[in-house]
Amino acid sequence: MASKKPAVQKSFPAIPFVLTNTITFIPYLVFLNLHTGVNLESVLPFVLFYTVRMTGIFLLKSFRLGLTTLHVLWLSLIVGGLGSIFGILGEWWLPCYYLAAVLIGLSAAWLPPANTTIKYQRKELNIEQQKSGIFDFLFLAILLGIFLGALMINFPGKRIVIFAEYTFLFLASFRTVNDYPVEDRKLEKIDQQTFFMKEFLLFLVYFILLIIVRLARALFDSEFLTAAVIGFSICLLLAAWYINTIHKNWKLPIWLNLLTFINGMCTNFILLFGTFYTAFYFGNDKITLYLYLPYLLGILISKLLIRYIYQLFPRVDRELLHIFGLIFSLLLLLFPAIFPFGVLIFSLFISGTSTYLNQTYAENEELPQDQRIIMKYSTQSKGSITHQLLLITGLWVMTKEFGISASTVLQITGHKANTPQTVQIIDTIHYVSIGILLYLLFFILYERLFKNREITIEK
């Protein structure tokens, strides 16, 4: 069934792509660069954005309130647009950045799963998809170029440029959703249970832990670090007990749950650890060029080439291709001389794996249609948060192993310490992180090749 498309969607199909693929980390960099000292006022916007972005998906699962995916999409565009406007105003009044951080963080948590779900709903309804042309790629290059240029070049008002572009993207996106499918969900059809305590507790615990971790890193406070490590250790023991008691009731095979979880870990590894790894080996001024540019290019190349990779290996199951691709990428990242190339290939397979997982969840009819992709994103977020907490725990262990102060180690994450001892810590974390990810990926291969392969959904 064909549908008449809004003018903005016809002219600018690159807008949703740019918005959903940059909203999670461009504001991250903007708020990160806000603070040059250790005062709480300048640190708070970054801490709020990161924490809300990482935990917002659990808040969404806690309060469902009978919302359709389209409602969530509209809500994410509204809060994101308001957040961008507050981001512009923050240039003149700092407290506006606090509101911007929370609102854009919520949008970054809700927009990608909502937009992805809508895409699959349109496919199921046979709504014609807009094909990309030369003008679309040119417009895409301009939009991304503005972001990267503003990040790489220091000039007055660079944050205004970035938030102004996001304001335009959010406003333009309102027009692109006019013909999106909406289910006829009358009040009596809505699930009476609109509040889910387990998901809310998960949101609360993750939110508190990440706030503590981020304050520790931003303020170089060792007491915050110790509190975060103790809290994470308790949560890890509880999680291990909980998983051991319920995993036999899962309907999703372990390998698929783990692949989703580890894809989140991989994303956090490359964007979080990769940032200060790049700063140490190539300099702060090379982070955008050596890390974020290859990361964006990997996403773009994945959209263009992943189908051809499938065609090259027609007899190999797609999940195996993604697992082998992630393993190969991690091996490339072991060598500093080709680190930017490794980032590009790693990003390509992270993005390709995420797309494959989206399709796997979206096509399973046992889940409520509006919850399939949200479930995938929540599992992925758990992996990302777990990696973050494992990383900070590893740094805490290093303080004991190398006999240095916790505040010195925390300065590593702020790119403010560069000694032979700290370089040794960076290398250790680098190799241990890659080793853990490789171990988990090989475990997935074992589960996938020798255990039950049936793909069903967790209760």
CA 310 and chain centroid, separation? 25
Q: Tell me the two tokens of residue 57.
A: 């998906």
Range of lowest pLDDT (50-64, 83-97, 281-295, 351-365):
50-64
Considering the domain architecture, whether residues 150 and 240 belong to the same structural domain is answered as no
Phi and psi at 185, nearest 5°, equal -110, 90
Answer with the residue of higher pLDDT: 197 or 192: 197
Q: Is 63 helix (H, G, I), strand (E, B) or coil?
A: strand
**Whether residue 122 is found in the same domain as residue 161:** yes
Among residues 199, 219, 239, which one ends one of the domains? Answer: 219
Do residues 249 and 190 both lie within one domain?
no
Range of the domain at 432: 226-459
* CA 306 – CA 28 distance, rounded (Å): 27
DSSP label at residue 126: T
Q: Are residues 184 and 236 both part of a single domain?
A: no
Question: Is the same domain home to 263 and 371?
Answer: yes
Q: Is the pLDDT of residue 136 over 50?
A: yes
Distance separating alpha carbons of residues 350 and 323, to the nearest angstrom: 10
- pLDDT tier at 28 (50, 70, 90 boundaries)? confident
Is there a contact between 345 and 328 (Cβ–Cβ < 8 Å)?
Answer: yes
Same domain as 426, residue 286: yes
Provide the CB-side half-sphere exposure for 26 (13 A, CA): 30
Q: What's the rounded Cα separation, in Å, for the pair 57 and 175?
A: 25
pTM: 0.80
What pLDDT is attached to residue 336?
87
Do both 425 and 336 map to the same domain?
yes
Give the contacts of 436 (CB within 8 A, at least 6 positions apart): 390
319 and 400 both lie in a single domain:
yes
CA 141 to mean position of chain CA atoms: 22
297 shares a domain with 211: no
Helices (H) and strands (E) in the chain, counts: 19, 0
Report residue 298 as tokens: 């990997």
Q: How many angstroms separate the CA atoms of 21 and 299, rounded? A: 8
pLDDT at 411: 57
Q: Confirm if 219 and 40 have CB atoms less than 8 A apart.
A: yes
Q: What is the pLDDT of residue 116?
A: 85
**Domain end point (choices 219, 253, 279):** 219
Q: How confident is the model at residue 12 (pLDDT cuts 50, 70, 90)?
A: low
Query: Is the distance from CB of 429 to CB of 395 less than 8 angstroms?
Result: yes
Average pLDDT, the chain: 76
Cα 363 from Cα 182, distance rounded (Å): 18
Between residues 221 and 94, the one the model is more confident about: 94
Both 303 and 442 in a single domain? Answer: yes
Same domain for 233 and 183? no
**Does the pLDDT at position 245 exceed 60?**
no
Tokens 């255990």, residue located:
451
Whether residue 280 contacts residue 13, with contact meaning beta carbons closer than 8 Å, is answered with no
> 3-state class of 193 per DSSP?
coil
pLDDT at 3 over 50: no
Of 162-171, 272-281, 411-420, the range with the lowest mean pLDDT is 411-420
- What pLDDT shows up at residue 412? 56
Residue bearing the bigger pLDDT, 16 or 205: 16
From 105-109, 269-273, 293-297, 453-457, the region with the lowest mean pLDDT: 453-457
When pLDDT is cut at 50, 70 and 90, the band that residue 137 belongs to is: low
Q: Give percent above pLDDT 70 in the chain.
A: 67
Last residue of a domain, one of 181, 197, 219: 219
pLDDT tens digits, one per residue of 248-298: 555 567 788 889 999 999 998 998 888 878 887 887 778 888 888 899 889
Q: What is the per-residue pLDDT for 191?
A: 47
Residues 205 and 81 in one domain: yes
- CATH assignment of the domain containing 260: 1.20.1250
Phi, psi of 63, deg, nearest 5: -115, 90
**Total domains in the fold of the chain:** 2
DSSP H helices in 177-221: 197-219
Rounded (5°) CA angle 310-266-142:
70
